[in-house]
Amino acid sequence: MFEACADPKAIEGLIWAACYLTSAKHVLFYWSFLTVLLLLAITAPAALAMGFVGATAARSHLAPVSWLGKIYIWMVRGVPDIIFFLFFVIALDQVIEYSKSLIVCESHAWPWQGLEFRVCPEAKVPLGKSSAFWHQAYGFMLAVVTFAIVFGAFVANVIFGAMNAVPRAQLETAEAYGMSRGQVFRRVLIPQMWVYALPGLGNLWMILIKATPLLFLLGVKDIVYYARELGGSKTQAYEYPHGDWRLWYFIGLMVFYLVFTRISEIGISRLTKKLSHGQATAGGEALRRARA
Amino acid sequence: MSMTCWETIQAYGLRSIGIGENLLPRSDFTLCQQFTLIGSGMLWNLYFGLLALIAGFFLANAVALARTARNPLIRKPAEWFVFIFRGSPLFIQFFLAYEALVLLPKGGVDILGIHLNTAWTTRAWAGALLVLFLNTAAYSAEIFHGALKSIPKGDLEAAEAYGLTGWKKFIRIEWPTMLRLGWPAYTNEAIFLFHATTLVFFSGFPAFQQKGDALYYANYFADKTFNPFIPYPIVAFYFILLTLAVTFFYGRVNRHLNRHLPSNIRSRIRLRPQLIR
C-alpha cells in the first residue's frame, strides 16, 4: 500500500506493524465489519416487518390465520436458532433453484435424486458463469432472509405480548367512541403498544448483534472468517510471517462486540425514557413525578 | 448390506460417545439411521446443558451476591464478569477460549512441583463445558441479581421485626424469595442454554473421531444427502421434546417455590424473550 512497505522483510518495529495492519487482506478485514453493520441495517427493519405481520396474524379472528401466526412464533422458540440458520440457507437455495427450474428447464424431473440435488445448469442461482461477486451477494442475501425469518418470529412474540398488554379500557373507550375495528387498531393499539414492546425489542436488538458472527457458519466472509485467516500462523513464504495470532484477533472481535452492545444499551435506555413520556406506566409516572 | 432398524440402533445408538460401529453410514441413508445418530448426538447436548446448568447455578448465586456487595473489590470483578459474558457473542467466546487453551504448553505445566497435563483442556468435553458454565453463570447471575433487588421491602422489614439478621435473614428470607422471583426468567435461561449447546462443534472445538452432538450429525446427513428437509426437522423434533422436558421440570420447581402463596398471585412461567440472552 505504501512505498515503505514494498519489502516487508527489510522493515521492523512500528513501521512493520503499520505496514502489516494496512496490508490488502487487512483492508478486506476492515470492510467485513461493514458487512456486519449492513446485515444489521437490513435485518432489523425486515425482522420488525415480519414480526408485525406475524403478531397481527396471531391476533386474527380467523382461526387458521391465527394458528399460522402462533405456530410461526412458537416453532422458533422451541428450537435452537442455529438449526434454522443451517436449514434455511440450504432449503431456500434449493427451493429457489427448483422453482426456477420449473420455468427454465426442459425436463421437470424431481431434483432430489439419490445423493444429489440436480437441476439443469440454466436453473442455477446464480448461474455458474456469474462472477464471484454475485455468488457472494447471493449468499449474503440468503443469510439476510434467514436472519429476518428467525428474528421475525422473536419480534412477533414480543409484539404479540405488547399488543395484549395495552389496557383493555383504552380499546373499549375507543370502541365506545364509535371507532371501527381497524381504527381502534391503527389509532389506539399501535401507538400505545410500543412502550410495552420496547424492553423486549431492545433485548432482541442485543441478541441480533450477538448473532451476527453466525454469518460465518452461513458461508459469508465476515469478521470471524478474516480473523481466522489473518490470525493463523504464517511461514516465511508469506510477506508478513508470524506465529499463531488468532487469540489476539478474537480478543479484538470481543472488544468490538462489547463496545457495540454497551453503546446500544445506553441508546436503548435513553429511548425508553423518551417513549415513557405521558404513558400510563410506572416509568411514565416516575418521569411525571420527577418533573413536578 | 441392509440393517434392520433395531440393528441400526445397536450400531449407532451410542456412536456419539464412541461405542458401537466405528464408521458412519456413507450411502443408502435410512430414516432410522438419521433418527438414531442424531438422537445419539443429543447425549452431548444433555451432557453440556446439564453440567453447565448445575455448576453455573452455584457460581451465579455467588456472583449475584457479589454484585450487591458494598466493597468495590468484590463488586467490580462480578460486574465485569457479567458484562463480558453477556455483552459478547457466545460464538466468539468459544473461539477465544479454544485459541487460548491451544496456546497452553503442549507438554503440560509444572506448578509448585506438580506436573499438570493440559492437552485435555482443548477437547470439547472440557473446554466448551467451561465456556458454557461461565456463560450461563453470567446470565443467571444477572437474573438473580435483578430478583434480589426486587424483593418487596415489606418482606425484609418483617424479617427484621422477627429478629432475623445477617446470614439467617439471607438464607431464610432473601434467598428463597430471590429464587421464586427469578425462576420464570431462569427457566428461559435453561432452555436457551440447551439451545446454545448446539454451537459447540461449529465453533472451533473439533469433533474427535466424528463424535459430535445432534446438530453435528444432522449437518453430516444434510451435507451427504444434499437434502436438508429430513435431518434438520429431526433435530428440531428432539429439541422440542427437550424444551418440553425442561419446561416441565422447572415448572415443578416453580410450583414448589410458590407453594405458600394463594394460587391467584403465583408467578407463572411464560416463555418470553424479555429477560433472556
Q: Where are the domains of chain B?
A: 46-104+121-212+253-265
A18-37: b (≥16 Cβ within 10 Å) or e:
ebbeebeebeebeebeebbe
Check CB contact under 8 Å for A115 and B225: yes
Residue B32 has pLDDT above 60, yes or no: yes
Task: List the one residue out of B203, B191, B188, B78 whose CA is nearest residue B134.
Answer: B78
Residues of chain B found within 8 Å of residue A91, distances taken between Cβ atoms: 228-229, 232
With cut-offs at 50, 70 and 90, classify the pLDDT of residue A18: confident
Residue B274 has pLDDT above 50, yes or no: no
> In the predicted model, what is the mean pLDDT of residues B257-270?
75
pLDDT for the residue B273: 43
With cut-offs at 50, 70 and 90, classify the pLDDT of residue B277: low
d(CA B170, CA B40): 43
Q: Report whether B108 contacts B115 (CB < 8 A).
A: yes
Q: B165-217 pLDDT, tens per residue?
A: 889 999 999 999 999 999 988 998 999 999 999 999 998 888 888 889 999 99
Flag whether the ipTM exceeds 0.90: no
Check CB contact under 8 Å for B227 and A117: yes
> In the predicted model, what is the mean pLDDT of residues B121-143?
93
Residue B73 has pLDDT above 50, yes or no: yes
pLDDT for the residue B275: 43
Q: How far is A282 from chain B (nearest CA, A)?
A: 14
With cut-offs at 50, 70 and 90, classify the pLDDT of residue A17: confident
d(CA A35, CA A15): 29
* Structure-block grid coordinates of residue A80: 435452537
Residue in chain A lying closest to B246 (CA): A78
Residues of chain A found within 8 Å of residue B244, distances taken between Cβ atoms: 78
Residue B140 has pLDDT above 90, yes or no: yes
Identify the residue with better confidence: A31 or A281: A31
Residue B243 has pLDDT above 70, yes or no: yes
Residue B88 has pLDDT above 50, yes or no: yes
d(CA A80, CA A91): 17
| A94 close contact with B: CB closer than 8 A | yes
Q: A129-145 pLDDT, tens per residue?
A: 778 888 888 888 999 99
> In the predicted model, what is the mean pLDDT of residues B17-23?
85
Q: Choose from A70, A72, A79, A230 for mutation: most chain B CBs within 10 A.
A: A79
Residues of chain A found within 8 Å of residue B219, distances taken between Cβ atoms: 86
Calculate the CA B18 to chain-centre distance. Answer: 23
**Closest Cβ opposite residue A257 in set B89, B226, B229:** B89
Least confident of A161-170, A258-267, B69-78: A161-170
Q: How far is B262 from chain A (nearest CA, A)?
A: 24
Amino acid at B83: F
Residues of chain A found within 8 Å of residue B247, distances taken between Cβ atoms: none
pLDDT for the residue B1: 52
Domains along the sequence of chain A with CATH: 3-291 (1.10.3720.10)
Task: List the one residue out of B43, B34, B35 whose CA is nearest residue B14.
Answer: B43
Identify the residue with better confidence: A271 or A44: A44
Q: B112-125 pLDDT, tens per residue?
A: 777 777 778 888 89
Residues of chain A found within 8 Å of residue B89, distances taken between Cβ atoms: 209-213, 257
Residue B91 has pLDDT above 90, yes or no: yes
Q: A221-231 pLDDT, tens per residue?
A: 889 999 988 88
d(CA A174, CA A184): 6
pLDDT for the residue A74: 84
Residue in chain B lying closest to A77 (CA): B271
CATH of domain B46-104+121-212+253-265: 1.10.3720.10
What's the helix, strand, coil split of chain A in %, to 5? 75, 0, 20
> In the predicted model, what is the mean pLDDT of residues B93-98?
93
| A212 close contact with B: CB closer than 8 A | yes
d(CA A15, CA B221): 50
> In the predicted model, what is the mean pLDDT of residues B228-248?
93
> In the predicted model, what is the mean pLDDT of residues B54-65?
96
